Amino acid sequence: MFVCGVPKDSCEFARVLKVEQRLFGELSLPPAMAHQMFDFRPEIYAAVVGPDDSVAAYSSIYPLKKKWADAFVAGDITEPDLTTDMLLTRQDCHERSSIYIGSVVVGGSYDAITKSVLLASMFSWRVQQLHHVSVGRLSVMMTAVTKQGERMIRKFGAKQLNGGAQRKDGYAVYGREVTPRFLYRATLVMDKCLNSGLVEMDRDFVPNMCAPTLAAGALT
What CATH number is associated with residue 104? 3.40.630.30
Q: Is residue 194 part of a domain?
A: yes
Does the pLDDT at position 208 exceed 80?
Answer: no
Q: Is residue 191 part of a domain?
A: yes
pTM summary value: 0.89
Cα–Cα distances in angstroms (integers) from residue 93 to residues 11, 90, 96, 140, in the given order: 30, 8, 8, 16
Q: Is residue 152 part of a domain?
A: yes
Does the pLDDT at position 22 exceed 80?
Answer: yes
Task: Judge whether 79 and 44 are in contact, CB under 8 Å.
Answer: no
Q: Is residue 206 part of a domain?
A: no
Does the pLDDT at position 202 exceed 60?
Answer: yes
User: Measured between alpha carbons, how far is 220 from 217 in angstroms, rounded to an integer?
Assistant: 9
Residue (of 104, 29, 10, 32) closest to 61 by Cα position: 104
Tens-digit pLDDT profile for residues 94-111: 999 999 999 999 987 889
Q: Is residue 89 part of a domain?
A: yes
Summary mean pLDDT of the chain? 89
Overall number of domains in the chain: 1
Residue (of 103, 98, 93) closest to 48 by Cα position: 103
Q: Is residue 210 part of a domain?
A: no
Which domain covers residue 65, as residue numbers? 2-201
Q: Is residue 209 part of a domain?
A: no
The mean per-residue pLDDT over the stretch 30-40 comes to 96
Q: Is residue 215 part of a domain?
A: no
pLDDT, residue 156, reads 87
